Structure 1
């Protein structure tokens, strides 16, 4: 499983995930930043992170952040809400390579936002054993069995 940007491949996101360009509002109802892109799972195309930039001014690049997708809630037209302050977002741990964060970096980011890591649910779904029917030992139907049959064997 890997992560890729939504804008780098040719697939359509479901309408609920078409949020590039949406503004992120903090807990004080202030627009903090906009969503520049999404990091999505390369197999399932499920969003994992919103890629944003915060703190830039007059063409000076700001701090690029990865915000866990589960931390964001759709708040209305072209709006996503997050339950933290703009200052809290400024202190988000950075990944060395924003497009390919290590698991330790992802854990740090999820911990910062108090968000449940996506890989926990993925792992549980994949490791849960599928129910399988066991084939009968012999073809004797239950109606034809009796206690006497068990005593003779």
Structure 2
């Protein structure tokens, strides 16, 4: 298992660009229904660009919910504490779970990205710009 190079951030630290300071906001689905509170972000350590929102979905009283990663790529902007997505709440609730945002592996990321029909960001090949 290969550890993910991403860094877990659970506060709106100054390293994040203002448009990425969404920890504590709520994710809303395509029908304007609240999905969950954003607990943190998994970011690239060099640039602090968010790759995933970290949320706990479900749970009630003394039961823990399911911790999930939601790709930042599927977010459509934010305002007044709300982050919006075109995904439905039930689809996000059925996404693969993680145990700990500090110990996500690249293999687990592949499963999550596959669920959301996204290509792994580490497979992006750079084009040769030399003539």
User: What's the TM-score bracket when you normalise by the shorter of the two chains?
Assistant: 0.7 to 0.9
Query: What runs of 5+ residues in structure 1 fail to find an aligned partner?
Result: 133-153
Q: Max radius of gyration: which structure?
A: 1
Counting helix residues as a fraction of each chain, which structure ranks higher? 1
Q: Take 1:76 and 1:59, find their aligned partners in 2: how far apart are those partners?
A: 32
Corresponding residue number in structure 2 for 1:71: 74
Query: What runs of 5+ residues in structure 2 fail to find an aligned partner?
Result: none
Give the TM-score normalised by the residue count of structure 1: 0.71
Corresponding residue number in structure 2 for 1:84: 87
Give the drift of 1:2: 1.2
Give the TM-score normalised by the residue count of structure 2: 0.82
Counting strand residues as a fraction of each chain, which structure ranks higher? 2
Cα RMSD after superposing both structures: 2.4
Runs of 4+ aligned residues of structure 1 deviating over 4 Å after TM superposition are: none
Within the candidate set 17, 32, 44, 1:14 is matched to: 17
Deviations 1:9-30 (A, max 9, x none): x652100100001110112110
Counterpart check, 1:34 vs 2:37: yes
